[in-house]
Structure 1
Amino acid sequence: MGSSASHAAAPPPPAYGAPPPFAAADAAAAAPPPKPHEEAAAEEKVDYLNLPCPVPYEEIQREAFMALKADTFEGMRFDFTKMISPHFALSHSVNMGSVEVPAQGNDVIKIPTSNYEFGANFINEKMMLMGRISHEGRENIRVKFDLTEKLSVKINAQLTSEPHYSQGMFNFDYKGKDFRTQIQLGNNAFYGANYIQSVTKNLSLGTEAFWLGQQRKSGVGVVARYDTKKWVATGQIATTGMVALSYVQKVSEKVSLASDFMYNQMTKDVTASFGYDYILRQCRLRGKLDTNGVISALLEERLTPGVTFQLSAEIDHWKKDYKFGFGMAVGE
């Protein structure tokens, strides 16, 4: 290597009148800085005819929900899923724990309970069918069917043998280029509609309205969501007296910190929560702390491919109540 470099031909001398090698850099450094209006003009302009499609209206707080609304439980839980074909699967779920019943004061009364559910799922490119039935006869049904690339129909139903406890909801979702809209029809004469529009590349605004005919109640709400690569902020206000704010800071690809604030004008309840979502190589840890004195955490550890161990804990300092649970999820 040294001999080849030493015998390499020397570069030709610069042409007559050519500037020295660093003349361009020196000239740029000596040039006056651009004026503020010139910097703004140099920035990339927003193409309002090519904005991204916003998230669905009901999912504007999905990043905050992942950390603050973890599926904590009490007792023992076991879930088993068997793939029959690439599109069809069967599932079995067993839960053993306790449920709280209303009591006077801050006393907590728990009754032992157990539940078994059998489920069947069918999912392909255009349709999703999910059904579960418990040993007590309760049925949960979820259906999603894509009529076109932009229009889809969703059905959520819960059927029970107890009178007036069955529920059903039909959703018609339309996904535009830079907006989404939804029409909802449900039992008890429920009618609702919402619309969300991308205003800029990061900001989306939306509104909703609903009418509950059986109870003679109506409401209107507005939402705002600002999403960047580092953080997500949302706000929601409704005429029912509910105010909800959330903020998620994406520390890294695996760590997120979240907080939310909720105010109910009708009941004068104010709640603030702070949580985290930490994804490791073999596990996921989520937890939160709120102003009601509740601390909760959920650990999901992947033991082997298809086998996940779950550990759940929740402590309510004000009610002097605690919940502890462990579970196992097995899927083929």
Structure 2
Amino acid sequence: MAAVTAPAPLELGVVEEKGSSLSFLTDNAITATINETYASLAAKRKAMGLTNPGTVEGISREVQRDVLLTNHMFSGLRCDVQKLFSLNPLFRLQHGFAMGSQALPPWQLMCIYGTNRVFMQGAYSGDGSVTAWGNLRWTDRFVTKTQAQIDPRQSQTMVQFDNEYTGEDFSLSVKAITPGIMEGGLTGIFIGQYLQSITPKLALGIEGVFQRATLGTKPETAASYCARYKTDDWIASGQILAAGQVNASYWRKLTDKVEAGVDCNLQFMPGMGSAMFGGPSREGSTTLGLKYNFQASVYRAQVDSAGKLGVVLERRVAPPVTLTFAAEIDQVKNTHKLGLAVSIDGAPEELEEISQRIEPAQPPY
């Protein structure tokens, strides 16, 4: 009986000896205090009912991306022909043709593939440039985003890596743009962003930037601060950027189909005033925009303090065909821009029926 039970104390003694060699990392007063403090803060944050505030980049997304014409204005003629092969996994091919536009290439081929965890998109333009995007979702909260662009007209290739973590009441992002270590040191642009919900309606954030073009140049750093206040009917946000730039935006939902947004940008430039040794000059602009959502169309209009008036109308004339009309008039410079686009979606009949049930909640393109 003793021979059978004798090895047990010896094995337990070995396990305790192995465990005790690293126990000082977790079994100490400092670690215990940190764990208790974190658990207490997590419990208080959960009791307050805090939600995720979004990201620093999208702090004014309702105004900049949805209402205003920043991402919707174009000029010239454009035609997009899309072919949807499957929804799960998502696989789509798109041909783009443009004429009379300085921003869009004359011809472009784009391919999109996506699942719940992986998203890939590539575009090849007629001028020889190649752009690729890729997202990998490691978990439900952590995602890595990559982007690369090769342009034969430029000597350097642009590469970007973005790691984003979405918590229950905060968002953390670390971004690297064209990083390099081949010169014997770290070069490129590195951006860190953090946005935290303070109350169920208020969120505060900070952004830090580190930039170094080459090892022979002095590194540059900058810090920006932002705030976002959200209610059921309106959202206000503000940013204090480096070099004395202040940006404020206000979004309000007037009705179920009408949204309005105001964006104000103020730039302080020290030492550029008209007075001798004089004070800083102030330059600013204000933009007011409206968005109307109809059953089969979306209408956007904006006017700014510089005298520009722009409109964009998107209308689905048939299930596979969408027409887009864009116009901009500059009263001060006496110039104008006009744009007309046609988008044709092609898909098998069963996929068209599914897409028609999914897409009405989104603006038709």
Please give the TM-score of this superposition, normalised by the length of structure 1: 0.79
Q: What is the CA distance between 1:137 and its match in structure 2?
A: 0.9
After TM superposition, the structure 1 = structure 2 runs for residues 213-252 of structure 1, keeping only pairs within 5 Å, are 213-214=212-213, 216-252=219-255
Contact 1:48–1:200 (Cα < 8 Å) also in 2? no
* 2:177 corresponds to: 186
Contact 2:267–2:282 (Cα < 8 Å) also in 1? yes
The separation in 1 between residues aligned to 2:72 and 2:308, in whole angstroms, is 15
Q: What is the CA distance between 1:203 and its match in structure 2?
A: 1.1
* 1:39 corresponds to: none
The residue type paired with residue 290 of structure 1 is D
Query: Which sections of structure 1, spanning at least 5 residues, go unmatched?
Result: 1-44, 101-112
What's the CA shift string for 1:138-164, capped at 9, x where partnerless?
A: 112111110111111001222111233
Please tell me whether Structure 1 or Structure 2 has the larger radius of gyration of its CA atoms: 1
Contact 1:70–1:287 (Cα < 8 Å) also in 2? no
Q: What is the CA distance between 1:269 and its match in structure 2?
A: 2.7
Q: 2:263 aligns with which of 223, 248, 260?
A: 260
SS at match of 2:295: coil
The residue type paired with residue 241 of structure 2 is A
Of the structure 1 ranges 186-195 and 258-267, higher mean CA displacement relative to structure 2 is found in 258-267
The separation in 2 between residues aligned to 1:203 and 1:184, in whole angstroms, is 25
Please give the TM-score of this superposition, normalised by the length of structure 2: 0.72
RMSD of aligned residue pairs (Cα, Å): 1.9
* 1:155 corresponds to: 146
* 1:323 corresponds to: 337
The residue type paired with residue 227 of structure 1 is K
What's the CA shift string for 1:185-210, capped at 9, x where partnerless?
A: 11161111000011111111110101
Larger helix proportion of the pair: 2
* 1:276 corresponds to: 290
The separation in 2 between residues aligned to 1:288 and 1:165, in whole angstroms, is 36
Percent identity, please.
28
Contact 1:46–1:201 (Cα < 8 Å) also in 2? no
Contact 2:48–2:200 (Cα < 8 Å) also in 1? no
What's the CA shift string for 1:57-104, capped at 9, x where partnerless?
A: 21111110111124111110111110122221110001111439xxxx
After TM superposition, the structure 1 = structure 2 runs for residues 78-117 of structure 1, keeping only pairs within 5 Å, are 78-86=79-87, 87-99=90-102, 115-117=106-108
Q: What is the CA distance between 1:170 and its match in structure 2?
A: 0.3
The residue type paired with residue 208 of structure 1 is E
- Confirm whether residue 119 of structure 1 aligns to residue 102 of structure 2: no
Query: Which sections of structure 2, spanning at least 5 residues, go unmatched?
Result: 1-43, 179-186, 270-280, 347-365
Against the structure 1 CA distance between its residues 200 and 156, is the aligned structure 2 distance closer, same or farther, given a 3 Å change threshold? same
Contact 2:105–2:126 (Cα < 8 Å) also in 1? no
- Confirm whether residue 67 of structure 1 aligns to residue 67 of structure 2: yes
Q: What is the CA distance between 1:48 and its match in structure 2?
A: 4.3
The separation in 2 between residues aligned to 1:175 and 1:70, in whole angstroms, is 25
SS at match of 1:53: coil
What's the CA shift string for 1:256-303, capped at 9, x where partnerless?
A: 111010012248431100010110111100011001111000000011
The separation in 2 between residues aligned to 1:274 and 1:211, in whole angstroms, is 33
* 2:38 corresponds to: none
